[in-house]
Chains A and B, each alone.
Chain A
Amino acid sequence: MADIFMAFGIGLLLLILVSLYRVVTGPTVLDRILGGNVIGSQTTVLLLLIGLIYGNVGMFVDIALAYALLNFIATLGATKYFLRRRSVHLDSDLQEGKEAAE
């Protein structure tokens, strides 16, 4: 049974690596936050699978719960930041735009 959990864990790890593409090359910042949110929820599940492989789920459940909470808070915080700025452009992009306009 541990081999099966190992196979599912490796599959989930490959999915995390593939979805890292959206974080690296997202057109907007919100795409990157979305990719980070997806990777976080996949990691929450992967931690439980690691707990099953080690035969010690009781310890990894707490880590997974903390990771789920952190993922939610981090997404809400980053989203709130860009909601207040009302712009997805970073400072360097804005300055380059101003210099191009001048």
Chain B
Amino acid sequence: MNVITIVLLTLGLFFFAVGVVGILRFPDFYTRMHAAGKCDTLASELVLLAVALYNLSDPSLGSVLVSIKIMMIAGFVFVASPTATHALTEAALVVGVSPWTRKSGRRS
């Protein structure tokens, strides 16, 4: 159980790191949105799953309830994070944030 937890935590931290590098290095808003939206959702799910599994290592009624709560957080993140990404992208489109093109240089 400990090995599975450590592997899932490492994968989650790796995807968080990829998302942070993405929002720091990409040239315009939409590409940053692309990096942050996907990597954050996947990394949150992996770490929440790791914590829920580790919490089940001494099975009792309380720890099972806590694990169910953690999986409810995971379900909420699975719905809410893409919704927030969609709303931000729609706002950027309506407001008129210009996408990166080859002419506009390295940074917008």
A binds B: yes
Q: How far is the CA of A61 from the CA of B9 in the complex (A)?
A: 17
B51–A57 touching, CB < 8 Å:
yes
A11–B13 touching, CB < 8 Å:
yes
B97–A28 touching, CB < 8 Å:
yes
Q: How far is the CA of A57 from the CA of B87 in the complex (A)?
A: 32
Q: How far is the CA of A45 from the CA of B12 in the complex (A)?
A: 10
Number of A-B residue pairs with CB-CB distance less than 8 Å in the complex they form: 130
Asked if B4 lies at the interface with its beta carbon under 8 angstroms from chain A, I say: no
Q: Interface SS of chain B: helix, strand, loop or mixed? A: helix
Q: How far is the CA of A68 from the CA of B79 in the complex (A)?
A: 11
Say which size band chain A's interface belongs to: 35 or more
Residue-wise, chain B 3-42 has the 8 Å CB interface mask toward A (1 for contact) of 0001001001100110110011000010011001000100
Q: How far is the CA of A61 from the CA of B76 in the complex (A)?
A: 13
A65–B97 touching, CB < 8 Å:
no
Residues of B within 8 A of A (CB): 2, 6, 9, 12-13, 16-17, 19-20, 23-24, 29, 32-33, 36, 40, 43-44, 47-48, 51, 54-55, 62-63, 65-66, 69-70, 72-73, 76-77, 80-81, 83-84, 87-88, 90-92, 94-97, 108
